Structure 1
Amino acid sequence: MGAALIRYRVIAWIVGVVLILLVVIGMPLKYGFDDPVVVETIGPAHGFLYMGYLVAAFDLSRRADWPLKRMLAVMLAGTVPFVSFWAERRVSRWVAVRPERTPETVAS
């Protein structure tokens, strides 16, 4: 599960940074200065990266046996600026607290 957590953490940070660039720089340029170039380039990149975020979050949630509500909440965290960073820290704590599943613990 360690590799799945690392994949999730990396993509959560990337998606969070790209979303902040889109919202803080791209949107004001587009709507305040009529210059959509940042939104036109960063927007599709965020959409593509968000799909990777969803895959990583789903993979981690499947490996950690999370309930559906937790999985959906983590997946939605990539859509709100700054929330993906908070969710990444929470997810890291959830996984760190959870004991690792081994064949011996699963059989008992």
Structure 2
Amino acid sequence: MTETTSTTTGTPVEKVRPALLRYRVLAWITGLWLLLLVAELILKYGFGVDALDFVPIVHGWVYFVYLIVTIDLAIKVRWPLGKIVVTAIAGTIPFLSFYFEHIRTKEVKAQYRL
């Protein structure tokens, strides 16, 4: 069986596991919407096509939810401020949210033996 709390943070694993899942899902959704936003910007400014005008608004709201779940996870696992900021910014740079999701998941799973 796994430990019920982390030895470094004291946070119960039962609270970290769902927070990590929420973070992982939102990191992927944010990354996908960001790639769609890049495609929309290329279509709009490169070819003059305004077919995907809703994408910036949706990505903005998805990114906002990503920030909330990132901060929720960060508080539970007690990340330092720099790690929180870099992880939050990862949702604004194409492909970086996928990379950071992988790295942060690996770190949290190792820390909590998930």
Same fold (TM over 0.5): yes
> 1:103 maps to what in 2?
none
- The unaligned stretches of length 5 or more in structure 2 are 1-15
Match of 1:50 among 51, 63, 74: 63
Q: 1:65 aligns with which of 73, 78, 88?
A: 78
Q: TM-score, normalised by structure 1?
A: 0.87
Gaps of 5+ in 1: 101-108
Task: Please name the residue that 1:87 is paired with.
Answer: 100
Cα RMSD for the two superposed structures: 1.0
The partner residue of 2:111 within 94, 98, 101 is 98
Equivalent pairs counted in the alignment come to 98
Q: Which residue number corresponds to residue 26 of structure 2? A: 11
User: Aligned partners of 1:69 and 1:18: how far apart in 2?
Assistant: 25
Secondary structure in 1 matching 2:54 = helix
Matched, 1:28 2:42: yes
Distance in 1 (CA, whole Å) between partners of 2:91 and 2:28 is 9
Q: Which structure has the highest helix share of the two?
A: 1
Paired residue type of 1:45: V
Aligned-residue offset at 1:33 = 1.4
Amino acid aligned to 1:34: G
Q: Structure 1 counterpart of 2:34, which letter? A: L
> TM-score, length-normalised on structure 2?
0.82
